[in-house]
Amino acid sequence: NAESAMYHAKQSGRNNFQFYRSELNTASLARILLESGLRNAVDRQEFLLFYQPQMELATGKLIGMEALIRWQHPEQGMVSPGEFIPLAEETGLVIPMGQWALKEACRQSKVWMDQTGVPLRISVNLSGIQFRLPDFTEMVMRTVGESGLPPHCLELELTESIAMGDVEETLEKLTILSRFGVLLAIDDFGTGFSSLSYLKKFPIDTLKIDQSFVRNCTRDPEDAAIIRAFINLAHSLNLEVIAEGVEHLEQLEFLAQESCDEIQGYFYGRPLSGDKFEMFMLDAFAKKAQPQTLL
């Protein structure tokens, strides 16, 4: 009967509680602390953006930067996105966080554009949760509009799995954004196991070759062949192609030889705080383009 069911529920509830309490190890405690910290991070202004420079291979010019979020945790110091983005996605906190990141990226690049007169492109990463929001396109257009940044200076990065989530919805949203003028990139290209037919279906501008292919491209002929194929695919479809994770001169030389359009990686520059990126940028503009010194 109902009474005994209630009794059993209470009993097992109590057992569960004891079970969880004994299992409340340091790992789950750390997670709980991280989650409660994350809840306040936007309000307490603990997020910041780092900027990683991107170079055009044919000219050696700085042509853009990727905005990469960091969390300045009051006790734990700088926390990298790999540690908190999965949690931010599970809890929905990635929505205010992502909104902040977009707004801040637009604000900062408008400031730099006004200061230097050079319209660099800024790339911002999206979470699938953010992209799937019904008012996502309106949010982007409003944010870009309010910042005064020309829409073509903003590039939104989405992964294959985000794009393939709901293909009709993706097509509709990307079409709106593309007509508005923002650029669209596929991040971590080659890791998503998805059909390539979406590349002709969606209004994509750029493929970002995942760093896992770049890592061994000068030693592993198969990685070299994959990169070559990606570059040819991109160019055949009239897309720009950028290689991520370029750490060594030999990789840069290989990519230049294969006519890759752009590179991003520690070789050219690490992700930098706003102040340090500004110095990097002013330095790059002062030196002008000197591709020969890079190649």
Binding interface with ligand C2E (CB under 6 A): 52, 68-69, 80-82, 85, 98, 101, 125-127, 187-188, 211, 244-247, 265-266, 271
Q: Which of 188, 247, 253, 278 binds Mg ion (CB under 5 A)?
A: 188
Is residue 9 within 8 Å of residue 1, measured between CB atoms?
A: no
CA distance 230 to 241: 8
User: 59-62 — which CB contacts under 8 Å span 24+ positions?
Assistant: 59/289, 59/291, 60/289, 60/290, 60/291, 60/292, 60/293, 60/294, 60/295, 61/284, 61/289, 62/120, 62/280, 62/281, 62/284, 62/285
Minimum distance from residue 150 beta carbon to Mg ion (Å): 17
CA distance 81 to 93: 13
Q: Among residues 225, 222, 190, 193, which one has the least CA distance to residue 207?
A: 190
Across-strand partners of 72? Answer: 78
What is the token pair recorded at 72?
Answer: 């300045």
Minimum distance from residue 181 beta carbon to ligand C2E (Å): 21
CA distance 186 to 241: 10
Partner from Mg ion, ligand C2E, none binding residue 85, C-beta < 5-8 Å depending on class: ligand C2E
Per-residue x/- track, 207-246, Mg ion (CB under 5 A): -------------------------------x-----x--
Minimum distance from residue 271 beta carbon to ligand C2E (Å): 5
Minimum distance from residue 152 beta carbon to ligand C2E (Å): 20
Partner from ligand C2E, Mg ion, none binding residue 253, C-beta < 5-8 Å depending on class: none
Minimum distance from residue 244 beta carbon to Mg ion (Å): 5
Question: 246 or 260, CB closer to ligand C2E?
Answer: 246
Q: Which residues contribute to the site for Mg ion (CB under 5 A)?
A: 125, 157, 187-188, 238, 244
